[in-house]
């Protein structure tokens, strides 16, 4: 048989477009655009509703000292609780993921994986109850110890809260809530590390831990960061658990174990919104806008970190 | 320093399945030993049992002895990690660490063995290893670039450089050229003939011309049927295997009258 003849007449060179491809390409494009439209819609709503508060004179804003003085402590409280959660949860989640993928016997690994995933299915209000009723009182002696022995560190200066409903408790509850997200994503990338790379490390005489260090963790780095960012997103936006656990009074402080804590944006909105009207609502929405911007910035930062060494990601 | 390997009565298992049985062979130092045979006959499995990479697979185990210069590699006090530091391996598909630069790839083994090494010494070692793998001139200007950006043949030579950087006694190669074009294959074969001055080399290959070109001794593996264990049918000087083999099965295989 001769080679297939390619039509050479001008005008007939149109590529064949199959209906299946067109439908799929169209629906994929539509979904992508829809995401952008929703995002833009949310941003537009927040800006429009926040505008009265942004332009209002300082004494009209709740607290009477201007918008920055009102939102500032909320943003600070949000970031502080989320950072505590992230700092606690990330190493723990990565360790759990490594144990499940590389150390645990297969049957135990499966069960453990399910249990960790199950943590994600617990409603946040239950975490809140658990935090306030069980965890917080249990932590009081520990906080007392921190104050007595590590009080010279400003974080643990005290005085210790008698209820245990502190910033650190809120952070720890959040840590447990974001643990399954980070560990599920880390586990997923760790199982995808090509056997070739792991064998390359082992054949060089690496121990199991060394193999993990030179082949598994670098390959999984983008997944860990991605998981951490998802977790951070949840911690930043978490409402009920924080609203229940955190005892709020006072402004910006790094003192993690007292009862005088700044609230977080989301918890504050949940607690204040039912009682609000007029400009108060606009102010709350302005704080929501601030949270939106923070989340956006965090995600862009994470993307930048992952892309910085894209050549070395192992994706090629 | 090249070393001799004596294998006696080696049976290799995956769980309950006996993949290879009754291998007795003596691998000479400073020479290239080729292992040939049809797919699934256990030659790669045998190769991986020499540096205890076989047991990385869950359920895989070995009976018998692999002795390198008087030391049983499967002895009670033998540590697989130490065994692999003495017996390097190059895999079928080039597998430089994708998250590391060319430089770090070559230095990886030495960093595992010897945490503290002067920068100048390490530079020296990387250059020496890359030169030893005939890759230095091609990559000397981009040592900080990822190893995965190289061509397949270059990646494979990078993997050889990484393996020889730790100065192993033995170098195992599992079909190192099967993913490469003829020119890259030639480069690797030339490299192997240089490297055999310093190392004991064992190579698994599907390419019989390659075995004939580079090796001093050749082992032919075969199996009687699917589900049967593979066996070492014949082990002889390469010249004899390819001109006047002792076994009929060997002759059938190398002349293409297989089955």
How do the domains of chain B map onto residue ranges? 5-100+170-254
Q: Is residue A2 part of a domain?
A: no
From B97, B112, B146, residue closest to A197, measured CB to CB: B97
Q: Left (φ > 0), alpha (ψ -120 to 50) or beta: where does A158 sit?
A: left
Task: Measure Cα distances from A284 to A55, A234, A276, B161 in Å.
Answer: 14, 19, 9, 62
Query: Chain B 38-67, CB below 8 Å of chain A: which residues?
Result: 51, 53, 56, 58
Window 205-224 of A, Cβ < 8 Å to B: 205-207, 210, 214-215, 218-219, 221
Tell me the nearest-neighbour CA distance from B229 into chain A, angstroms. 24
pLDDT per position as a tens digit, A263-304: 899 999 998 888 888 888 999 999 999 999 999 998 888 888
By Cβ distance, the residue of A197, A207, A312 closest to B95 is: A197
Q: Provide CB contacts within 8 A for B37, sequence distance 6+.
A: B43, B220, B221, B222, B230, B233, B253
Helices (H), B140-219: 152-165, 182-195, 208-214
Chain-chain contact of A214 with B163 (C-beta, under 8 angstroms): no
A79 CB-side CA count, 13 A: 17
For the stretch B249-258, pLDDT in tens is 999 998 887 6
Q: Tell me how far apart the alpha carbons of residues B38 and B104 are, in angstroms, rounded to a whole number.
A: 37
Q: Do A207 and B149 touch (CB under 8 A)?
A: no
Interface test with A, best of B55, B56, B98 (most A CBs within 10 A): B98
Q: Which of B97, B105, B147 is best to mutate for the A interface (most A CBs within 10 A)?
A: B97
Task: List the single residue in A106, A197, A205 with the smallest CB-CB distance to B84.
Answer: A205
Task: State the CB neighbour count (10 A cutoff) for residue A309.
Answer: 13
Position A25 in a domain: no
- What residues of chain B, 73 to 92, have a C-beta less than 8 Å from chain A? 81-82, 84-85, 88-89, 91
Residue A160 pLDDT: 83
**Chain B residue with Cα closest to A195:** B95
* Residue A6 confidence (pLDDT): 52
Q: Tell me the shortest Cα–Cα distance from B141 to chain A, in angstroms.
A: 17
pLDDT at B7 over 70: yes
Does residue A209 lie within any of the structural domains? yes
* B166 secondary structure, DSSP code: T
Burial zone of B44 (CB within 10 Å; 0-12 exposed, 13-18 middle, 19+ buried):
buried
Across chain A, mean pLDDT equals 88
ipTM of the modeled complex: 0.90
Interface touch B85/A316, C-beta < 8 Å:
no
Q: Determine, yes or no, domain membership for A288.
A: no
Kind and range of the H or E run holding A32: helix A19-55
| Inter-chain CB proximity A200 and B96 less than 8 Å | yes
What proportions of chain B, in percent to the nearest 5, are helix, strand and coil? 40, 25, 35
Contact A196/B95, CB-based, under 8 Å? yes
A1: confidence class by pLDDT, cuts 50, 70, 90: very low
Contact (CB, 8 A) for A246 and A261: yes
Q: Does A316 reside within a domain?
A: no
Report the distance separating Cα A112 and Cα A116, nearest Å.
6
CA B248 to chain centre: 27
Question: Does residue A270 sit within a domain?
Answer: yes
In a domain, A290, yes or no: no
Least trusted range by pLDDT, from A25-29, A237-241, A291-295: A237-241
The proportion of chain A whose per-residue pLDDT surpasses 70, expressed as a percent, equals: 93
Residue with tokens 């007795």: B24
pTM, entire model: 0.83
Contact between B81 and A316 using a beta-carbon 8 Å cutoff: no
Q: Is the CB of residue B176 less than 8 Å away from at least one CB of chain A?
A: no
Give the closest residue to A196 by CA, choosing from B96, B51, B153: B96
**Residue A15: DSSP 8-state:** P
Banded model confidence at residue A8, pLDDT cuts 50, 70, 90? low
pLDDT for A315 equals 55
Residue A193 sits at the chain B interface (C-beta within 8 Å): no
Give yes or no for a contact between B208 and B220, defined as CB atoms under 8 angstroms apart.
no
The SS3 call for residue A288 is helix
Which pLDDT tens digit goes with each residue over B118-130? 889 999 999 999 9
Assess if CATH 3.40.50.300 describes domain B5-100+170-254.
yes
Is there a contact between A316 and B101 if contact means CB atoms under 8 Å apart? no
The answer to whether position A283 is within a domain reads no
- Is B95 in contact with A201 (Cβ distance < 8 A)? no
A247: domain range?
78-277
How many domains does one find in chain A?
Answer: 1
Note whether A203 contacts B88, CB cutoff 8 Å: yes
Where on the phi/psi map is residue B109: left (φ > 0), alpha (ψ -120 to 50), or beta?
alpha
Give the mean model confidence (pLDDT) for residues A102-114.
Answer: 89
CB contact under 8 Å between B84 and A312, yes or no, is: no
- For residue A164, the SS3 value is coil
Q: How many CB atoms lie within 10 A of CB A235?
A: 30
Q: What CATH number does residue A248 fall under?
A: 1.10.3720.10
Give the ranges where chain B is alpha helix by DSSP (H): 43-50, 80-86, 102-113, 119-132, 136-139, 152-165, 182-195, 208-214, 238-243, 248-254
- The answer to whether A280 and A253 are in contact (CB under 8 A) is no
Sign of CA dihedral B247, B248, B251, B253: negative
Mutate to test the interface with A, among B51, B54, B93, B95 (most CBs of A within 10 A): B95
């Amino acid at each position: 048989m001769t080679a297939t003849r390619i039509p050479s007449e001008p005008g007939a060179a149109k590529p064949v477009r199959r209906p299946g491809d067109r439908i799929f390409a169209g629906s994929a494009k539509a979904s992508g655009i829809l995401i952008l439209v929703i995002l833009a819609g949310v941003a537009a709503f927040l800006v429009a509703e926040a505008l009265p508060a942004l332009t209002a004179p300082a004494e009209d804003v709740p607290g009477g000292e201007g918008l920055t003085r009102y939102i500032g402590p909320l943003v600070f409280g949000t970031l502080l609780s989320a950072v505590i959660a992230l700092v606690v949860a990330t190493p723990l989640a990565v360790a759990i993921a490594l144990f499940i993928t590389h150390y645990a016997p297969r049957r135990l690994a499966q069960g453990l994986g399910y249990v960790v995933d199950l943590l994600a299915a617990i409603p946040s209000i239950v975490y809140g109850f658990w935090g306030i009723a069980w965890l917080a009182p249990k932590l009081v002696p520990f906080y007392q110890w921190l104050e007595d022995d590590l009080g010279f560190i400003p974080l643990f200066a005290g005085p210790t809260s008698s209820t245990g409903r502190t910033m650190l408790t809120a952070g720890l509850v959040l840590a447990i809530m974001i643990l399954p997200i980070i560990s599920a994503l880390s586990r997923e990338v760790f199982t995808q590390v090509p056997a070739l790379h792991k064998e390359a490390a082992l054949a060089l005489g690496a121990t199991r831990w060394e193999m993990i260090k030179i082949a598994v963790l670098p390959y999984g780095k983008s997944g860990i960061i991605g998981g951490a960012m998802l977790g951070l997103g949840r911690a930043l936006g978490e409402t009920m658990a924080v609203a229940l656990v955190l005892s709020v009074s006072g402004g910006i402080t790094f003192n993690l174990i007292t009862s005088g804590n700044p609230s977080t944006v989301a918890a504050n909105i949940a607690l204040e919104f039912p009682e609000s009207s007029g400009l108060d609502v606009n102010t709350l929405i302005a704080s929501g806008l601030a949270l939106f911007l923070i989340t956006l910035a965090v995600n862009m930062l994470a993307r930048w970190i992952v892309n910085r060494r894209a050549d070395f990601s192992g994706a090629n | 320093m090249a070393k001799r390997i004596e294998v006696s009565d080696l049976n290799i298992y995956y769980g309950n399945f006996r993949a290879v049985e009754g291998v007795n062979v003596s691998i000479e130092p400073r020479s290239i030993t080729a292992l040939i045979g049809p797919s699934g006959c256990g030659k790669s499995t045998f190769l991986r049992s020499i540096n205890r990479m076989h047991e990385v697979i869950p359920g895989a185990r070995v009976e018998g002895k692999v002795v390198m210069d008087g030391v049983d590699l499967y002895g009670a006090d033998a540590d697989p990690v130490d065994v692999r530091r003495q017996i390097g391996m190059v895999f079928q598909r080039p597998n430089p660490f994708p998250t590391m630069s060319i430089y770090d790839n070559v230095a990886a083994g030495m960093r595992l063995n010897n945490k503290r090494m002067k920068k100048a010494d390490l530079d020296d070692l990387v250059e020496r290893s890359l030169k030893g793998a005939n890759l230095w001139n091609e990559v000397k200007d981009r040592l900080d670039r990822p190893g995965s950006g190289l061509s397949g043949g270059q990646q494979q030579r990078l993997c050889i450089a990484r393996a020889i950087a730790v100065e192993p006694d033995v170098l195992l190669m599992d079909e190192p050229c099967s993913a490469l074009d003829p020119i890259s294959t030639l480069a690797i074969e030339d490299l192997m003939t240089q490297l055999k001055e310093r190392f004991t080399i064992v190579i698994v290959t599907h390419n019989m011309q390659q075995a004939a070109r580079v090796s001093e001794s050749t082992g032919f593996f075969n199996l009687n049927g699917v589900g049967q264990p593979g066996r070492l049918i014949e082990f002889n000087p390469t010249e004899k295997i390819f001109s006047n083999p002792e076994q009929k099965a060997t002759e059938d295989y190398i002349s293409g009258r297989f089955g």
